[in-house]
Each structure stands twice: as structure tokens, then as C-alpha cells.
């Protein structure tokens, strides 16, 4: 177990997400979300350092957000936690980041939790 060094609040979420890497598209589920990145559950994560494009729509809005990110870490299948990859946002509009931060904050307030 490691110490988490997170700057942004995050929330567990189950949202549909499209990931594009090179010419490959992958439809999957996002498992947690912050203004700085996401954890994506997948049995076939990209390599650490891979650049991906995420297409995300929040349930509060119909707008598709195109966000570029870099795979920061991966978790292989076989443990007690879901396999997948942690992706850090590297190119996101200020408006989209603010929408995500607000969504996360609002959801945490409803749940009565903070991280």
C-alpha cells in the first residue's frame, strides 16, 4: 500500500469512455475521475507513457470532451483490484477541466465525502 499524492479531488464513477490510441478505438468504463485524470478499467491497458485520446461525456451535459492523456501506470489482471490504467490529462481545455472539477465536487458533496 502506498501513499497517494493527489492534488485533485477524485470520485468513483462508472461512465462510458472511448479511448483512441494510434488507429485503435477501445470502448470501456471509467472507474474514477478527477480534474487531473482517470482510472480506466481494461484487461488490455496501453504501455506506460502511451499517449491516448479520451472521449468523455459527463451525465450532466451532452458535450463530448476530447481530452489527451498519458498512461501513468497500469494494473494487470490477477489481483483483487480491477485491472486497468491510470491516465493523466495532458491536454484539456480549461472549460472541460472546470466541468469535470465541478462534477466531481458536486458528486462528493452529495455523497458527503471528500478525498
Determine contact, residues 75/39, Cβ cutoff 8 Å. no
CA Rg value for the chain: 14
Q: What is the mean pLDDT of residues 68-72?
A: 96
| 24 occurs within a structural domain | yes
| 17 occurs within a structural domain | yes
CATH code, 67: 2.40.10.220
Report percent pLDDT > 90 for the chain. Answer: 38
Residue in 75, 71, 72, 91 with CA at minimum distance from that of residue 83: 75
93 lies in which domain range?
Answer: 10-111
What is the separation, in whole angstroms, between the first and last Cα of the chain? 17
The answer for 84, left when phi > 0, alpha when psi is -120 to 50, beta otherwise, is left
| 53 occurs within a structural domain | yes
| 2 occurs within a structural domain | no
| 100 occurs within a structural domain | yes
- pTM of the entire predicted model: 0.81
Q: Which residue has the higher pLDDT, 96 or 44?
A: 96
Number of structural domains the chain divides into: 1
11 has pLDDT over 90:
no
Amino acid at each position: 500500500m502506498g501513499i497517494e499524492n493527489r492534488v485533485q479531488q477524485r470520485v468513483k464513477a462508472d461512465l462510458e469512455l472511448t479511448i483512441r490510441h494510434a488507429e485503435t478505438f477501445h470502448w470501456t468504463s471509467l472507474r474514477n475521475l478527477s480534474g487531473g485524470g482517470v482510472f480506466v478499467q481494461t484487461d488490455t491497458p496501453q504501455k506506460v507513457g502511451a499517449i491516448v485520446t479520451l472521449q468523455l461525456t459527463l451525465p450532466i451535459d451532452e458535450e463530448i470532451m476530447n481530452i489527451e492523456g498519458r498512461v501513468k501506470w497500469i494494473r494487470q489482471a490477477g489481483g483483487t483490484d480491477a485491472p486497468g490504467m491510470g491516465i493523466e490529462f495532458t491536454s484539456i481545455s480549461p472549460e472541460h477541466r472546470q466541468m469535470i472539477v465541478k462534477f466531481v465536487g458536486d458528486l462528493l458533496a452529495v455523497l458527503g465525502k471528500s478525498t
